[in-house]
Amino acid sequence: MLGTKLSAGDFSISNLGKPEKNSPLIKEKELFVKETQKITYYADIEEISSFIKQGKDLPCFEMAGPRKKIFFASEKINCAIVTCGGLCPGINDVIRAIVYESYSRYKVKKVYGFRYGYQGMVEKNHIKPIVFNTDMVNEIHEKGGTMLGSSRGSQSKEDMVDYLQELKISVLFAVGGDGTLRGASDIAAKIKERNLDISVIGIPKTIDNDISYIEQTFGFETAVEEARAVIKSAHIESKGAENGVGLVKLMGRDSGFIAAQATLANADVNFCLIPEVPFTLKGKNGLFPLLKKRLIKRKHAVIVVAEGAGQDLIEKEPELIKERTTDASGNILYKDIGVFLKNKITLYFKDNGFPATIKYIDPSYIIRSKPANANDSVFCLQIGQNAVHAGMAGKTDMLISYWNHNYTHVPIKLATSRRKMINPEERLWKTVLSMTD
């Protein structure tokens, strides 16, 4: 899907300098990863062969893990964690892993926790960072959310690097999505500009699972689990009334992975609408006539819609848009595809004199605030530990990923170069279609 334009060079990781100090792990019977250990990006044998035939190096990821030689004298440095963007199951697990690994394994002096995202990284905002100890984080993974708080939006890179210098921080761990990671990359650039020895390690956090070059992001599985339960509720509601329609809006701004996966995990969804696949409301293959057909046949229906789906349809309703502009209470209302569909479906059936009942559920906050399920917890633990290994080794401007059985390093630039989306021509969407038609 991602084309053959990638070359081995796109996967190379930036380093602050040559790692020359002995890792504190050296005393233990540790398994070290060598810099030469790499994981193939392609798994398809034809792709691999094509590189070989052309005499080109295979694009591959640096393998994550502890290094024998590290860059920092770890017992003399401070680290810091910042969490940005919306909540996602597992953030606290990541924080916990970083704090434990930093203190227990690398004996770092202090781990700071910036509060409320990048806002807390600007000194003049007067939000004091936490100084962690292991007791503080011991049980946080049992709770959803982030103990540090979060915020959206960017801050001055100058100000943030100033504060990192002020606090004498050598490694910054930035937990966040696309925007946060670009921000982290900018911070790394600013650090380079100033010629500082500060490593910036990204931890990709996107409940939508829409970051490229990572098989799956943490929290996604937990989100699908919770989404499945909500769809079950919608199904029960839809069967509770004659011609009942259960409508569930799920997370997914640009990528419909949660909607698609939850549809497969549950067997009750009849219509799955995602940003990647445009749809119409009326006309031959329009949602409304298909929905009516389904109701006539089965008396109930379940629709799942990703929040980013059908945005073009909303724009096409000038009347509604006009009303929107005069709405004093915020213009979010009519951009909300869930509310939009609920209202439009209601109107459609009213206009058609067809008695239907729509039950609309928006479970986003309920889903994203849940603690990580067991698998996500283990995943977060290992991502967090590998992030610390990478930081100590002096890697920078990169994030921790997982690919073909292995934890890997990915340049932030590469990971943010294009969004991961569902390809409607590939297997996942075909399977969704086969389960919903």
The 3-state DSSP class for residue 411 equals strand
- Counting contacts by CB under 8 A, is residue 426 touching a copy of itself? yes
Give the 3-state secondary structure of residue 82.
Answer: strand
Residue of 93, 208, 268, 376 marked catalytic = 208
Q: Of 15, 154, 233, 280, which lies in the binding site for a copy of itself, with binding defined by CB under 8 A?
A: 233
Distance, CA of 102 to CA of 114 (rounded, Å):
16
Q: Of the candidates 43, 211, 304, 396, which one interacts with a copy of itself according to CB under 8 A?
A: 43
Rounded to the nearest whole angstrom, what is the least distance from the CB of residue 83 to a copy of itself in the complex?
9
Nearer to a copy of itself, 296 or 378 (CB): 378
User: x/- binding map, residues 300-329, to a copy of itself, per CB under 8 A?
Assistant: -------------------xx--x--xxxx
Residue 24 CB, nearest approach to a copy of itself (Å): 12
* Minimum CB distance to a copy of itself, residue 423 (Å): 10
Tokens of 76: 């003399």
Clarify whether 208 is annotated catalytic: yes
Could you say whether residue 267 binds a copy of itself (CB under 8 A)? yes
153 burial class (0-12, 13-18, 19+ CB within 10 angstroms)? exposed
Asked if 346 is part of the footprint of a copy of itself (rule: CB under 8 A), the reply reads: yes
* Other Cβ atoms within 10 Å of 437 Cβ, number: 8
What are the b/e assignments for 250-278, b being 16+ CB within 10 Å? bbbbbbbbbbbbbbbebebbbbbbbbbbe
The single residue among 13, 16, 19, 39 that binds a copy of itself, judged by CB under 8 A, is: 39
Q: What is the DSSP pairing of strand 60-63 with strand 14-15?
A: unpaired
Q: Which is nearer to a copy of itself, 189 or 424 (CB)?
A: 424
Instruction: State the binding string over 373-412 for a copy of itself (x if CB under 8 A, else -).
Output: xxx-xx--xx--x-----------------xxxx------
Q: From residue 311, how far is each of 84, 145, 287, 340 by CA, in Å?
A: 25, 28, 15, 10
Report, in Å, the least distance between residue 200 CB and a copy of itself.
23
What's the residue count for the chain? 437
Considering the rule CB under 8 A, would residue 431 count as an interface residue with a copy of itself? yes
Site string for a copy of itself, 103-132 (x = CB under 8 A): --x---------xx--x-------x-----
Among 150, 170, 199, 401, binds a copy of itself (CB under 8 A): 150
Instruction: For residue 53, list its beta bridge partners.
Output: none
Binding of residue 281 to a copy of itself (CB under 8 A): no
- In whole angstroms, the minimum distance from the beta carbon of 8 to a copy of itself comes to 10
Q: What are phi and psi of 274, to 5 degrees?
A: -130, 160
SS3 123: helix
The helix (H) or strand (E) run that includes residue 201 is strand 199-204
Q: Which residues are marked as active site? A: 208
